[in-house]
Structure 1
Amino acid sequence: MRGQLQLSRVQAARTAAQFRPRQTFRLSQQVRHASTELKQEVARNEKVGDVRSGFTRIKNLLLGTSIVAVLGFGYLYVTDTRATFHQWLVPRVLRTLFADAEEAHKISNKTLKALYSVGLHPRERGNPDVNGDLKVDVFGHLLDNPIGTSAGLDKNADIPDVVLGFGAGIVEVGGITPHPQEGNPKPRVWRIPSQNALINRYGLNSEGADAVATRLRQRLREFAYALGLGLDPVAEKSVLDGHAGVPPGSQMPGRLLAVQIAKMKETPDNDIDAIAQDYVYCVNQLAKYADILVVNVSSPNTPGLRNLQQAAPLTKILTAVVDAANAADRKTKPAVMVKVSPDEDSEEQVSGICGAVWASGVDGIIVGNTTKKRPDALPTGYLLPQDEQSIMLETGGYSGPQLFERTVALVKKYRTALDKGPNETKPEPKKIESAPKQAEKSEFQLETEAMKEKIRSQLYAPSDKSQTAAPNSLDAETKSSIENSEKVIFATGGITNGKQALEVLNAGASVAMVYTAMVYGGAGTITRIKQEMRDEIRGVDVERLPATDARK
Structure 2
Amino acid sequence: MNGLLDRIGQRALFAFDPETAHGLSIKALKSGLVPCPRSSDDQRLAVRVAGLDFPNPLGMAPGYDKNAEVPDALLAFGFGFAEVGTLTPKPQPGNPKPRIFRLTADSAVINRLGFNNEGHDAAFARLAARRGRPGIVGINIGSNKDAADRIADYEAGVARFAALASYLTVNVSSPNTPGLRNLQGREELAGLLSRVAAARAASSNPAVPVFLKIAPDLHEDDLDDIAAEIEAHGIDGVIVSNTTLSRAGLKSTALTSEAGGLSGRPLFARSTAILARMRKRLGPKRAIIGVGGVESGATALEKIRAGADLVQLYTGMIYAGPSLPGRIVGELSRFAAREGLGSIAEIRDAHVDKWADTPID
Give the alignment's TM-score, normalised by structure 2. Answer: 0.92
- 2:231 corresponds in structure 1 to 358
- How many angstroms apart in 2 are the aligned matches of 1:405 and 1:124? 30
Native 8 Å contact 2:92 2:117 kept in 1? yes
Matching residue's letter, 2:274: L
Task: Confirm or deny: 8 A CA contact 2:9 2:321 kept in the other structure.
Answer: yes
1:301 to 165, 173, 176: 176
Amino acid at match of 1:411: L
Question: Is the 1:354–1:418 Cα contact (8 Å) retained in structure 2?
Answer: yes
Question: Matches of 1:544 and 1:123 in 2, distance apart?
Answer: 26
Find the counterpart in structure 1 of residue 28 from structure 2: 111
Counterpart-to-counterpart distance in 1, 2:343 and 2:130? 38
1 CA distance for matches of 2:69 and 2:343? Answer: 38
Structure 1 counterpart of 2:20, one-letter code: E
Give the distance between the partners of 1:256 and 1:538, measured in 2 at CA.
Answer: 25
2-structure distance, mates of 1:175, 1:188: 16
1-side partners of 2:249 and 2:347: how far apart? 35
Does residue 321 of the first structure (1) align with residue 174 of the second (2)?
Answer: no
The counterpart of 2:253, out of the listed 389, 396, 402, is 389
User: 5 Å matches for 1:372-521?
Assistant: 372-377=245-250, 384=251, 388-419=252-283, 485-521=284-320
Aligned to 2:141: 261
Deviations 1:356-411 (A, max 9, x none): 1111111000011111110213xxxxxx4xxx422221101111111111122111
Paired residues of 1:312 and 1:356 also in contact (CA < 8 A): no
Q: Distance in 2 between matches of 1:214 and 1:293?
A: 17
Q: Is the 8 A contact 1:135 1:547 kept in 2?
A: no
Unmatched tracts of structure 2, length 5 or more: 349-361
Q: Which residue of 2 aligns with 1:335?
A: 209
Name the % identity: 38
Tell me the SS of whatever aligns to 1:133.
helix
2:282 and 2:85 map into 1 onto residues whose CA distance is 26
Match in the other structure for 2:358: none
**Residues 318-342 of structure 1: CA deviation (Å, up to 9, x unaligned):** 2212222233324x73210000000
Query: What are the within-5 Å matches in structure 2 for residues 528-539 of structure 1?
Result: 528-539=327-338
Q: Is the Cα–Cα contact under 8 Å of residues 141 and 168 in structure 2 kept in the other structure?
A: yes
Q: How far 1:265 moved relative to its partner? A: 0.7
Query: Partner amino acid for 2:140?
Result: Q
Q: CA deviation at 1:140?
A: 2.0
**1:268-313 Cα distance to aligned partner (Å, 9 max, x none):** 5xxxxx2211111112212211011000000000000111101121
Distance in 2 (CA, whole Å) between partners of 1:289 and 1:534 is: 30
Residue 65 of structure 2 aligns to a residue whose secondary structure is coil
Give the drift of 1:316: 1.4
Q: Is the 8 A contact 2:336 2:342 kept in 1?
A: no
Report the Cα distance in structure 2 between the residues aligned to 1:281 and 1:487, rounded to whole angstroms. Answer: 25
Counterpart residue type for residue 85 of structure 2: G
Matched residue count: 349
Cα distance, 1:535 vs structure 2: 3.6
* Aligned-pair CA distance for 1:503: 1.0
Higher helix share: 1
State whether residues 89 and 120 of structure 2, in contact with CA within 8 Å, keep that contact through their aligned partners in structure 1. Answer: yes
Counterpart amino acid of 1:351? D
Contact 1:136 1:548 (C-alpha < 8 Å) held by counterparts: no
SS for the counterpart of 1:523 is coil
Deviation, 1:121, is: 4.0
Residue equivalent to 1:95: 14
Q: How far does the alpha carbon of each residue in 1:157-195 deviate from its partner, in whole angstroms, 9 at most, with x for none? A: 011111111111121100001111111000100111111
Does the 8 Å contact 1:156/1:173 carry over to 2? yes
Name 1:16's counterpart in structure 2: none
Q: Secondary structure of 1:267's match?
A: coil
Distance across 2 between alignment mates of 1:353 and 1:526: 31
1:150 to 2:61 alignment:
yes
Could you tell me which amino acid in structure 2 is paired with residue 396 of structure 1? Answer: G
TM-score, normalised relative to structure 1: 0.61
Query: Does the Cα contact within 8 Å between 2:45 and 2:343 map onto a contact in 1?
Result: no
The answer to whether the 8 Å contact 1:258/1:292 transfers is: yes
Q: CA RMSD in A?
A: 1.9
Contact 1:499 1:536 in 2 (8 A): no
The letter for the 2-side match of 1:87 is D
Distance 2:299 2:337 in 1: 16
Offset of residue 92 of structure 1: 2.0
Match of 2:35 in 1: 122
Q: CA deviation at 1:534?
A: 3.0
Greater gyration radius: 1
What SS does the corresponding residue of 2:114 show, helix, strand or coil?
Answer: coil
Shift of 1:198: 0.4
Tell me the SS of whatever aligns to 2:339: coil
Instruction: Go from structure 1 to structure 2 and tell me whether the alpha carbon gap of 1:405 and 1:156 turns closer, same or farther (over 3 Å shift).
Output: same
Of 57, 77, 95 in structure 2, the residue corresponding to residue 166 of structure 1 is 77
Higher RCO (C-alpha 8 Å, min separation 6): 2
